[in-house]
């Protein structure tokens, strides 16, 4: 059996971006920016007041000094004149600073009587000015490739970028296989269960900028699998779930190969996820996930998401590894790398992690409680509480 690293390399081999498109920023969150976005003006474009108060010359500011208020500037309403010695301008947050001023005295520090203000004795010493371009300069560039977050969208808007160039969304065909499966909301026989992992995988794919199409549940027969592959081949990535192991009804690998799958590998030294397979089917990337719900989801994080990220044009595609301190002992690991469902917590002592007692790959309740996977290498020795371990955040 090959290792997880080797399998990831094989899954990613030959994958690339599918094309680009221009989209309005309202549709760009979660997409991958492919062309760097450029600002055309600085932000703020003028020195701006950051408080409500009075703009004055800083040199003139002393407790109990009086100024004559000569006008007003509000956000979107600049005041064009120049403030002279002994004068102040009423100013509001976001307004351009007028000529002749370099400080805002907040209104809480002022007593006003008609057109005259008198500064209080105790003065806040801040100047309350946001200089031109303090957020970004006129030639600012948001680099690519980059998975656009909601914060990026706000930044792009501030840069006056109404549309951006992103990669085309990879379209993923999700195929659940098995005579025992019924769709949620269906009417299962006593010997049937509900198809679950395709929905988790769809959510995972769509959370990461892909588009997932759940195909009809496919029976454990050669004809049914053939018919589904014929539809699925239109997608950019074909993913099967189940039927991957060695049982009499585990036909996916065999039928996929008859259909034209050029298999790159089958079976990896990993728990959960041993019967994973990958390759290309008529030039389309193919990933065969194990049926156990947790195995399918864990393999989704470790293999499917990296493939999706690469097809989206991202440079950083593998899961981020974070270190955390184990809060309890762990027994030695065996011949397969173990991705243990765990809970990570930020504490005053740093990041701490605890593995769940139950690690059966059928337990979605445990996966739902987990926010991390502890990565146990092949043949890892027993670990004591306090050991630093590597983990993947879910
Ligand atoms: N003799 C052996 N038996 C098994 C081995 C082995 O090495 N030798 N490997 C085990 C491991 S590890 C796994 S993982 C499973 C994977 O098997 P398959 O990929 O063939 O999956 P199925 O047999 O079709 O299903 C396994 C399990 O998961 C349920 N399932 C399947 N699809 C879904 C779905 N879409 N949603 C929810 N649940 C699903 C299915 O009903 C089974 O209970 O094989 C072991 N056996
Ligand atoms: O590898 Mo299986 O996924 O252990 O349950």
Supply the DSSP string of 230-275, one letter for each residue.
Answer: HHHTTSSEEEEES--SSSTT--HHHHHHHHTEEEEEE-BSEES-TT
Q: Are 208 and 143 in contact (CB under 8 A)?
A: no
288 ligand 1 Cβ < 6 A? no
Q: Are 303 and 11 in contact (CB under 8 A)?
A: yes
For the chain (length 394 residues), average pLDDT per consecutive 10? 97 97 97 97 98 98 97 98 98 98 98 98 96 98 97 98 98 97 96 97 96 97 96 98 89 95 97 97 97 98 98 97 98 98 96 98 98 98 98 96
What integer pLDDT is reported at residue 41 of this predicted model?
A: 96
Task: Compute the distance between CA of residue 7 and CA of residue 21 in angstroms, rounded to an integer.
Answer: 31
- pTM, entire model: 0.91
Closest ligand relative to 194 C-alpha: 1
Other beta carbons less than 10 A from residue 221's beta carbon:
14
Dihedral sign, CA of 159, 163, 165, 171?
A: positive
Q: Which two tokens stand for residue 277?
A: 């397979």
Q: Which long-range contacts (CB under 8 A, 24 or more apart) does 316-321 make?
A: 317/12, 318/8, 319/392, 320/392, 320/393, 321/375, 321/390, 321/391, 321/392
What is the number of the ligand 2 atom nearest to the C-alpha of 290? 3
Buried b (16+ CB within 10 A) or exposed e, 253-275: bebbeebebebbbbbbbbbbbbb
**Nearest-CA residue for atom 17 of ligand 1:** 245
- Name the phi and psi angles at 55, rounded to 5: -85, 130
Q: Are 119 and 65 in contact (CB under 8 A)?
A: yes
Q: Which helix (H) or strand (E) holds 24?
A: strand 20-24
Q: How far is the CA of 357 from the centre of ligand 1 (A)?
A: 21
CA-atom Rg of the chain in angstroms: 30
- Beta strand pairing status for 277-281 and 261-266? antiparallel
What domains can be seen in the chain, in order of their start residue? 4-18+168-311 (3.40.980.10), 20-43+137-164 (3.90.105), 48-130 (2.170.190.11), 321-393 (2.40.340.10)
Dihedral sign, CA of 50, 51, 55, 58?
A: negative
φ/ψ bin of 150: left (φ > 0), alpha (ψ from -120 to 50), beta (otherwise): alpha
174 ligand 1 Cβ < 6 A? no
Ligand 2 cavity residues, CB under 6 Å: 271-274, 290, 292, 295, 361
- Rounded alpha-carbon distances, angstroms, from residue 107 to 65, 87, 89, 101, 120: 14, 15, 12, 16, 10
Q: How far is the CA of 273 from the centre of ligand 1 (A)?
A: 9
Among 197, 246, 272, name the best residue to mutate to test ligand 2's pocket (greatest count of ligand atoms within 8 A of Cβ). Answer: 272
Among 266, 274, 293, 363, name the best residue to mutate to test ligand 2's pocket (greatest count of ligand atoms within 8 A of Cβ). Answer: 274
**Nearest-CA residue for atom 46 of ligand 1:** 245
DSSP track, 178-227: -TTEE-TTS---TT-EE--HHHHHHHHHHHTT-EEEEPPPB-SSHHHHHH
Task: Compute the distance between CA of residue 244 and CA of residue 296 in angstroms, rounded to an integer.
Answer: 11
Among 182, 202, 214, 245, name the best residue to mutate to test ligand 1's pocket (greatest count of ligand atoms within 8 A of Cβ). Answer: 245
What is the number of the ligand 1 atom nearest to the C-alpha of 250? 20
C-alpha torsion angle, residues 8, 267, 393, 335 (rounded to 10):
-110
What integer pLDDT is reported at residue 246 of this predicted model?
A: 84
What is the number of the ligand 1 atom nearest to the C-alpha of 292? 28
**Of 183, 169, 210, whose CA–CA distance to 305 is shortest?**
210
Task: Compute the distance between CA of residue 102 and CA of residue 98 in angstroms, rounded to an integer.
Answer: 8
Place of tokens 């593998």: 318
Task: Compute the distance between CA of residue 373 and CA of residue 99 in angstroms, rounded to an integer.
Answer: 59
**Nearest-CA residue for atom 2 of ligand 2:** 272
Angle at 340 (CA atoms; ends 317, 323), nearest 5 degrees: 60
β-strand partners of 266: 277
Q: How far is the CA of 292 from the centre of ligand 1 (A)?
A: 5
Give the DSSP letter of residue 60. G
Helices and strands in the chain, H and E counts: 8, 28
Place of tokens 């005295």: 105
289 ligand 1 Cβ < 6 A? no
φ/ψ bin of 80: left (φ > 0), alpha (ψ from -120 to 50), beta (otherwise): alpha
Task: Compute the distance between CA of residue 68 and CA of residue 346 in angstroms, rounded to an integer.
Answer: 54
Closest ligand relative to 273 C-alpha: 2
């Amino acid at each position: 059996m090959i290792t997880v690293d080797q399998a990831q390399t094989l899954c990613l081999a030959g994958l690339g971006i599918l094309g680009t498109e221009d989209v309005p920023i309202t549709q760009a969150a979660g997409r991958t920016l492919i062309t760097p976005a450029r600002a055309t003006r600085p932000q703020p474009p003028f020195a701006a007041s950051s408080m409500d108060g009075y703009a004055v010359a800083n040199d003139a500011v002393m407790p109990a000094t009086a100024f004559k208020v000569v006008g007003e500037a509000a956000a979107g309403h600049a005041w064009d004149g120049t403030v002279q010695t002994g004068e102040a301008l009423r100013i509001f947050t976001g307004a351009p600073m007028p000529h002749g001023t370099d400080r805002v005295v907040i209104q809480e520090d002022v007593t006003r009587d008609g057109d005259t203000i008198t500064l209080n004795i105790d003065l806040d010493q801040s100047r309350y000015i946001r200089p031109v371009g303090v957020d970004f300069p006129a030639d600012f560039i948001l680099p690519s490739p980059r998975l656009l977050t909601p914060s990026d969208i706000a930044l792009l808007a501030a840069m006056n970028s109404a549309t951006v160039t992103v990669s085309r969304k990879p379209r993923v065909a999700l195929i659940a296989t098995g005579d025992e499966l019924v769709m949620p909301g269906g009417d299962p026989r006593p010997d049937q269960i509900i198809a679950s992992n395709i929905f988790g995988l769809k959510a995972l794919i769509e959370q990461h900028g892909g588009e997932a199409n759940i195909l009809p549940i496919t029976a454990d027969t050669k004809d049914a699998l053939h018919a589904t592959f014929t539809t699925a081949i239109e997608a950019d990535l074909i993913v099967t779930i189940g039927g991957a192991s060695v049982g009499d009804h585990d036909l996916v690998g065999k039928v996929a190969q008859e259909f034209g799958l050029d298999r790159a590998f089958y079976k990896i030294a990993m728990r959960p996820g041993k019967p994973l397979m990958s390759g290309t089917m008529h030039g389309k990337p193919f990933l065969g996930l194990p049926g156990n719900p947790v195995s399918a989801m864990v393999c989704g994080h470790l293999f499917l998401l990296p493939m999706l990220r690469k097809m989206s044009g991202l440079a950083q595609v593998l899961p981020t590894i974070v270190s955390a301190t184990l809060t309890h002992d762990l027994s030695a690991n065996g011949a397969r790398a173990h991705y243990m469902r765990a809970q990570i917590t930020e504490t005053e002592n740093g990041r701490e992690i605890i593995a769940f007692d139950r690690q059966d790959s059928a337990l979605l309740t445990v996966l739902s409680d987990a926010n991390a996977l502890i990565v146990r290498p092949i043949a890892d020795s027993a670990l004591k509480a306090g050991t630093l371990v590597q983990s993947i955040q879910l």
